[in-house]
Amino acid sequence: MAKVRGTGFAAVNYPTGMHLGGDPTQSLIHMTPAGDFVCTMASVDLGQGLRTVLAQIAAETLGVPYESIVVETADTDTGPHCTGTFASRTTHRAGNAVVMAAAEARKAMLEVAGELLEASPEDLETDGAGNIHIKGVAEKSVSVGEVAGAAHFGYGKTIAGRGAYLKPPSPMDPETGECDPDSTQAHACTVVEVEVDTETGVVEVIDMKSVYEVGQQVNPDLVKGQIVGGSWMGIGHALYETTAPGYPAIDPAPVDFQNYLQPGAAEMPEVACEVLEYPAESGPYGGKGVGEMVTNGPIPAIVNAINNALDVRITQIPVTPEVVLRALDEKRAQAEG
């Protein structure tokens, strides 16, 4: 009996947005009298950092400081419609709606700035630090705060914008399946090394390396957060997790984390990742979705690595010690013929 090592990998693609489209998200942006902006959404932040990402996109399009954007979420009284936070759709759908709303608000802002600077709005540019100046003439400048004050108290104007993003719904032909399912596809390839104890059947993931291709990243740290978190979830799916250990039987039925096992810190290997950026035509600044795909590479990569280590053919998850030992028994029985 021994501990044996093996490697495996998997290549995966993942669609951005709900299958077949038809999943709108809208956005409203307005400027306060102090010159900051409120971006109002009905989208829900699940902890992945939606408020951060949408603030970055709004700031980019408006040309104002990131810190001056407040993102308000999840209120059906004030927030314009969002289909929901799922389907790797929020950066793409909500992001595109924010780009549109911010572009309209920016236009209104530059019109007021043009009045103040006695210049045509087309001749103005933002410096991203809270100032608007005539192109090429930095000293002919007005602050975003001054523009806000003038709009509110001098001209009686709103500086606001509306945005709506919808990938029109595509039917799926019931006979052939012909359809336009996605806005774009993101990609990943995960390589895993495992160590399997042939006596106990316990599998340890030693090393995990991934390359992701997710279009333009809006926030690389948050992308990495998804990748690392998904690696952990992938280990759980591949090796431990099931609500029905006797599937398809409904018993036993775990009801707590004593019996529903998930990886702990000690089971987590070093996760290395590299991200390639090939901008998507349809994405906000070229972004694709990364939220869901991050377990899809690790799971088959781990099982391929186990099969490689043991020279067996396991085709189910989770690969519990029992599954490993049964596979080894079967291999032994076949060898003995």
Partner 1 sequence: MSMKELGVVGRNVGQRDLESHARGQTTYYEDVHYPRMLHLKMHRSAEPHANIVKVDTRKAAASPGVVCVLTHEDLPGKKVWNGLAAVGVGPEDEPVLAFDKVRWRGEPIVAVIAETPEAARAGAAKVEVEYDPLPGVFDVEEAISGSAPALTAHWPHNHYIYPDDHAASQIRFGDVEKGFAEADHIVEDKYQTSPIEQAPMETNGCIAKPGGDGRITVHTNTQAVHFARDNTAAILGLAPGKLRFLGGTVGGGFGGKVDVAVEPISVLAAMRTGRPVKFKYTREEEMQVSSTRSAWRLYIKDGVMNDGRIVARKITSYQDSGAYLRFSSYGSMKHAGHMPGPYTMPNVWVDARVVFTNRPPSSAMRGFGVMAASFAIELQMDKVAKTIGMDPWQLRLLNAYRNGDMRAHRKVNEDAAMVETIQAAARLAGHELPAEYQAMTSWDRKAS
Contact positions with partner 1 (CB under 8 A) in 273-302: 274, 276-282, 285-286, 288, 291-293, 295-297, 299-301
Q: Which stretch binds partner 1 (CB under 8 A): 27-35, 114-122, 131-139, 210-218?
A: 210-218
Largest CA distance in the chain: 92
Q: Sign of dihedral through CA atoms 271, 276, 281, 286?
A: positive
The least CB distance from residue 266 to partner 1, in Å, is: 18
Interacting residues with partner 1 between 8 and 27 (CB under 8 A): 8-15, 19-20, 22
The least CB distance from residue 223 to partner 1, in Å, is: 10
Q: How is residue 114 written in tokens?
A: 């043009």
In the complex with partner 1, the residue whose CB is nearer, 151 or 222, is: 222
In the complex with partner 1, the residue whose CB is nearer, 45 or 197, is: 45
Q: How far is CA 252 from the centre of its chain?
A: 35
254 in contact with partner 1 (CB under 8 A): yes
The least CB distance from residue 322 to partner 1, in Å, is: 13
Query: Out of 35, 79, 163, 201, which residue is the one contacting partner 1 (CB under 8 A)?
Result: 79
Query: Out of 4, 38, 74, 268, which residue is the one contacting partner 1 (CB under 8 A)?
Result: 74
Interacting residues with partner 1 between 85 and 104 (CB under 8 A): 85-87
31 in contact with partner 1 (CB under 8 A): no
The least CB distance from residue 162 to partner 1, in Å, is: 17
The least CB distance from residue 328 to partner 1, in Å, is: 18
Residue 88 burial class via C-beta count within 10 angstroms: exposed 0-12, middle 13-18, buried 19 and up: buried
Give all strands of the β-sheet with 270-276 in edge-to-edge order. Answer: 3-15, 185-197, 203-213, 270-276
Q: How is residue 70 written in tokens?
A: 């407040």
Cα–Cα distance measured from residue 37 to residue 24, given in angstroms and rounded to the nearest whole number: 23
Answer whether 192's CB lies under 8 Å from 207's CB.
Answer: yes
Contacts by 310-315 with C-beta closer than 8 Å and gap 24+? 310/4, 310/6, 310/196, 310/198
Q: How is residue 198 written in tokens?
A: 């042939």
Q: Which stretch binds partner 1 (CB under 8 A): 30-38, 110-118, 151-159, 205-213?
A: 205-213
Cα–Cα distance measured from residue 148 to residue 31, given in angstroms and rounded to the nearest whole number: 7
Query: Out of 156, 174, 264, 337, which residue is the one contacting partner 1 (CB under 8 A)?
Result: 174
State residue 53 phi and psi, 5-degree precision. -65, -45
Interacting residues with partner 1 between 130 and 149 (CB under 8 A): none
